[in-house]
A and B are shown apart, each in its own frame.
Chain A
Amino acid sequence: MKTIDAPPAPGANARAAAEMAVRASYGRLVAILAARSRNIAAAEDALADALAAALLRWPEDGVPDRPEAWLLVAARRRLGQAARHNRVHEAAAAEIRLLVDTMTETDPAAIPDERLKLMFVCAHPAIEPAAQAPLMLQSVLGLDAARIAASFLTSPAAMSQRLVRAKARIREAGLAFEVPGRDELAGRLDAVLSAVYAAYGTGWDGAFGDDPRRAGLAEEAIWLGRLIVGLAGPQPEALGLLALMLASEARRPARRDAAGRFVALADQHPALWDGLLIDEAEDLLRRAATFGRPGRFQIEACIQSVHLSRRLTGRTDWTALAGFYDLLVTLAPTVGNRVARAAAIAEADGPAAGLAVLDALAAAADAYQPYWATRAHLLARSGQPAEAAASFLRAAGMAEDPALRSYLLGRAATLAS
């Protein structure tokens, strides 16, 4: 198809077309290429070669009608060559099959979407948990290791090593690229969802930090969440996770004031929350609830929903919140959830009740910044300003975000004076 617009810079057009095709279909192509060989690294290399070839050829020959199919064929050919070089133990039949597939799969509608399988293999129990979310971001979305390392607060060298190890494990252990059967699905899906949530949490923490590389990660995680909902069919926890991420995202505009200062949830102005995202989250949550199978992500989304209903009612139902937190800590007794439960109990039943819950947590939460901030807040409310100031100071000393740090220092200074 010829465009009727002026034809300037065919090279630039071809480059843009190639980059768009790769961005949109990176994970789709990696998943297809790696499904048979179970070799993600080789699939990524082949795709990189195909892209390089596209950038050479398309400016000369024009952008093909189906860039994705073109890239898939070129990458397959490249994989076939590598297989000829490297594999001696596999029968030639496999290669012939590969070439036959190449001939028949040039219709984009016929290119299957294997990304869900790719996500399941990234979150396989044999892969170390700390590598699962990064591996998904790299192989499904094509993020580079340096960007992922910055997001997960580790060095690029350590992250690369982690990713290489994980890919080697998939290859050597021969982990299957498959969507588990119905019996197994719920358990395995939880690992996939947890990895996506870990990516979202990292992006959320960093969203207002000084490192712009962390800022986009929340969007990438939501992208993965939408992909899972689209590919996995109706799964209540997948719907719950997406609802949770969208509800959190809705509050983003209210998390800082005009001067960039941190605004605590209780002080946020509901008018600044994103109504469209809230409506979408509520809708997802309702769909999830029709299954009658609650899980941690649905409960966390319910917690967000209670907070967000302040937009309509002007108040927060703390008793309902404390109830949801009781339920949550029975399913996911993390330090974060237990500290948040203490805060909800303090709002519902008074600061002394909250402090009692925190006291029981002291040993486990010593290195957890929100524990100290929550403790400080409850001490201040229960008329112990000196102890509160010391706890605010401790929280400030553990805050990574300068805006949050100065908020906590400010609270400490006010109480100490």
Chain B
Amino acid sequence: MKRTITVLVHNRSGVLNRITGLFSRRQYNIDSITVGVTENPSISRMTFVVVVDSMENVEQVIKQLHKQIDVLKIKDITDEATVARELVLVRIMATSVQRGEIASLAETFRAQAIDIGKESMTLQVTGNTEKVEAFIELVKPYGIQEVARTGVTAINRSAKMSTDTSRLTLIN
């Protein structure tokens, strides 16, 4: 199963290394990681998507992360009300004749053309993972030259939090 975990860490050099090292040493598979500073420049926020076998496994991941001195807060937000987004850039083959057709396809996904060349164009889409994947599938027939995905970043919704008093949110 896939779980989405957010972690607040000190914005110090080497912290990402500590975290990913921990994952690989304990054989947890990371699907994606996104990192960026928060409103406080000394703190960064990471969003992981991890693949685990069981809830006990997720709990162990969280506990191990919590042991890191640079980790301030961890949350498994998978079962909470969240907004999760991913950004993808796709460069596809596109002759000048096809451009119009592609543009209208893109529109339904609110994708934008951000670069157009003689025989290709690059589109940008944001959305949850399913949407992003659906879009990639859709443009595949044109011939994909390159895809770059950021991985998921996520945040709790501003509406009320999930009622589930998840035991995985904090261990201390």
A in complex with B: no
